[in-house]
Structure 1
Amino acid sequence: MPTLTAPALTVDAASLVAGIEAYLADQAPRTAHPLVTKTTDQLIAEALAAPAIEPETGAPALTAPRRLWRIIPDWALVLTPARRLHGAGRPVTVTQHLELTALVIEQYGWHRGALRSRTGRRCILGAQAVLFRLGYGDEGTAIAAGRAMQNVLQRRGVEDAYPAWNDQPRRTLDEVLQLIREAANNTEEN
């Protein structure tokens, strides 16, 4: 089945993890003690040895993972710094899981026909697996995110399950990202 081509990807999984952490840090309330001289963002950036959040936009500077991290088996993702940092897992909301699923697809590249391509591109379900293996959220979060995407498809009159919908030959990256983001905007948390 055809896949989309993406620009050359040059950064390791630590960059993806740093981007996820920056996103999650931006979502969480700032709780640093007033006697701490550094901001929460500075402490997070130091701890992860990642670039600080851009002050003008407030968005993390994200880069894609190196080819090696994109093509290693998903089970090996448990060896990444995020999993070691957070142990069994870091809780994320369903909305965050969906937004991070879109981030993974944007960073790794999108694929249809299987969870992942030989070059590491991911379908929606494959992107969810990356998050789970990295320790962001749990099985319940991923299932709830899947239900949210399925609800969007049902409202559109689509009967296919979202993984089958992802794999249809006419499907585009834009449609996939639109589905994920629409589901994120329509979760009960919002």
Structure 2
Amino acid sequence: MPTLIAPELAVDAASLIADIEAYLAEQAPKTAHPLVTKTTAQLIAEALAPPAHGPETAPELTAPSRRWRIIPDWALALTPARRLHGAGRPITVTQHLELTALVLQQYGWHRGGLRSRGGARCILGAQAVLYRLGYGDEATALAAGEAMQNVLRRRGIDQAYHAWNDQPGRTQGEALQLIREATTG
């Protein structure tokens, strides 16, 4: 079956997917016991390996190119991650929220719609990017939305979080703060 994504777009998709995978790999020890995810041979090899020299550094985040940001969102479902994970790679609500912030930081933040002509996303649009790439499922995205809604309720705001995002005067910093507050409950 011929690919429908231009090669340069696939490179940008690979970059975003690599950043998400690096984040999820970093989170793995926090979400599962390491003995559950490693074979006996891996544990033995790890125990016999010489100590690492220096701390590992997190991958540098780079924004997707303009061409990648402006392709239709439905095309995200054609990426290798979505094909690999099928209905979606399971992630926690906290991971979904943190990855939503990552998408806003890489694509840019927008208010007044799911996305701008240049590819910037609102909070809901960033959640859609994750879902279409195959990270999490609808239940995870809804639970993350409820967590953000709870933060707004504690602030005395009854407006839906996606409508709150679109209010005149709202800033990217405020949107990211809402997401970060929702990760802590």
Normalising by structure 1, we get a TM-score of 0.79
* Aligned counterpart, 1:21: 21
* Aligned counterpart, 1:5: none
* Aligned counterpart, 1:35: 41
Q: For the aligned residues, what is the CA RMSD?
A: 1.8
Is the Cα contact below 8 Å between 1:14 and 1:65 reproduced in 2? no
Is the Cα contact below 8 Å between 2:113 and 2:122 reproduced in 1? yes
* Aligned counterpart, 1:78: 77
Following TM superposition, the consecutive aligned residue runs of length 4 or more in structure 1 with deviations greater than 2 angstroms are 29-39, 55-61
* Aligned counterpart, 1:105: 104
Matches within 5 A, 1:46-57: 56=55
Matches of 2:93 and 2:57, distance apart in 1: 22
Q: Quick one: percent identity of the two aligned structures?
A: 74
Paired residues, number? 161
1:65 CA displacement: 1.2
1:34 CA displacement: 5.0
Is the Cα contact below 8 Å between 1:89 and 1:137 reproduced in 2? yes
Max Rg structure: 2
Matches of 1:161 and 1:57, distance apart in 2: 40
Is the Cα contact below 8 Å between 2:76 and 2:132 reproduced in 1? yes
Matches of 1:34 and 1:18, distance apart in 2: 27
Q: Cα 1:81–1:158, aligned 2, differ >3 Å: closer, same or farther?
A: same
Is the Cα contact below 8 Å between 1:111 and 1:117 reproduced in 2? yes
Question: Between Structure 1 and Structure 2, which shows a larger proportion of helix residues?
Answer: 2
Matches within 5 A, 1:60-79: 60-79=59-78
1:87 CA displacement: 1.8
Is the Cα contact below 8 Å between 1:70 and 1:108 reproduced in 2? yes
Normalising by structure 2, we get a TM-score of 0.81
- The unaligned stretches of length 5 or more in structure 2 are 1-10, 47-53
Q: 75-84 vs 127-136, which deviates more?
A: 75-84
Matches of 2:109 and 2:57, distance apart in 1: 26
Matches of 1:177 and 1:183, distance apart in 2: 10
Q: Cα 1:74–1:153, aligned 2, differ >3 Å: closer, same or farther?
A: same
